[in-house]
Amino acid sequence: MRRARQGTIPDMIQRYRGIVLAVPLFLVCSILFVVTRAPGSISRKAIPGGFAGSRSYAVIFDAGSSGSRVHVFCFDKNLDLLHIGKNLELFEQIKPGLSAYAKDPQQAADSLIPLLEKAESVIPEGLRRKTPVRVGATAGLRALGAEASEQILQAVRELLQHKSSLKFQSDWVTVLDGTQEGAYQWITINYLSGRLGKSYADTVGVVDLGGGSVQMAYAISEEDAKKAPKVSDGEDSYVQKLFLKGSHYYLYVHSYLHYGLLAARAEILKISGDVSNCISGGYHGSYEYGGKTYKASASPSGASFSQCRDDAVKALRVGEPACAHMKCTFQGIWNGGGGAGQQNLFVASFFFDRASEAGFIDPNKPVAKVKPAEFEEAAKRACQLSIDDTKAAYPRVATENLPYLCMDLVYQYALLVDGFAVDPSLEITLVKQVPYGDSFVEAAWPLGSAIEVVSSP
């Protein structure tokens, strides 16, 4: 019996091979279970660059007047942002901008090569042909005129077509108008705040106050979209239909040229004439904008909130021409019909800057809740001061902006309340950056452009 149980080593391995194989397999599975369940283990999404099964990238060039910038974003299959290295985007910039090469379009295009190479370097080689690249030029190229700007844009198109490994379409290189900027800004803020993919009533409206123009954008119902007035040839439509995160949106968006903060100063000074009720007392000077010079001298009695507001309302042309639609903002512009998509307003750019400089929001926090009435209160305080007292009271205001602090705050209040008919007591959100996960992301148009292009069917 004892001899019968004995055998060669190969015979024993063959007889007990199931046990031999099962033990190490069990140990490996146990180790994997412990590792994947361990507290603090890194999720797939948090790993730099990600290794999710389905990733997509987008490259957006912001060709501004002061410089060119490139943004690279990476999304997972749910259109959530993934890290690129330690950040939620790759961002690089160079100076000067494309408009500095007005007489040499090829040199303008070539100036983007270092940014292009940096963008391509962070995108896996196998995904580059699937990665869209867009170039959006803004104020700098607009100022060059149609012929010069188109020559530069064509040189950029040829650069991307022949020297880039990215997905490219000719119409992805363009001069952005204010309507496009407003739409992309709306996409950016609603995306970062987790509202895309929900009903239009759950989205937020956006007012973006730049230097040359101001944009209003908010989602409306399909029924209101059908009521949009027809526009003349060459004019931007009031409503854009967007497909984002699996949902269709009808976006009312309008850009008011000449009513950005810096441009509005010129419009108000046209109304006031030789002396202005909006200039800090004791200041006598001039204001330059758009290649023109305007007198900017204070009234002998100093600034006046009520008289300055009258001038601001006249500059906005509230009530003229007469409203030809159901309801208008200013200049006879259709207001989109109102509705749920406008009830929660996010207000960006110069609104945030002036509020922080005037001291009624914390400049160290990227988001603040305020009411339009707080701009009124701040304006009344600023308008009472002489230029010397303004300098002492508002150390955060740049020297060149001090004479116009009263005017800027009055205009911002008038724009919201008289222009856009926002209730003075309505709580609005001033935003510079939007929280996203454990990070903050700039509330700027390039992310909105990226989301649109990767969302396209």
- The residues that are catalytic are 181
CA-to-CA dists, residue 189 to 406, 423, 437, 451, angstroms: 29, 22, 14, 11
- Hey, is 35 helix, strand or coil? helix
Q: Is 131 exposed, middle or buried (CB count within 10 Å of its CB: 0-12, 13-18, 19+)?
A: buried
Q: Kindly tell me the burial class for residue 436, based on how many C-beta atoms sit within 10 Å of its own C-beta (0-12, 13-18, 19 or more).
A: middle
- Please tell me the distance from the alpha carbon of residue 220 to that of residue 237, in angstroms, as a whole number: 14
**CA 415 – CA 407 distance, rounded (Å):** 12
Please report which helix (H) or strand (E) contains residue 83, including its range: none
Residue among 261, 260, 273 nearest 307 (CA): 273
Burial class (CB in 10 A: 0-12, 13-18, 19+), 128: middle
Helices (H), 228-321: 261-272, 305-316
What residues contact residue 262 under an 8 Å CB cut-off, 6+ apart? 211, 212, 289
b (16+ CB within 10 A) / e for 377-409: ebbbbbbbbebeebbebbeebeeebbbbbbbbb
Nearest Cα residue to 182 out of 336, 295, 35? 336
Could you tell me which of 312, 317, 240 has the C-alpha nearest to residue 277? 312
End-to-end CA distance of the chain: 76
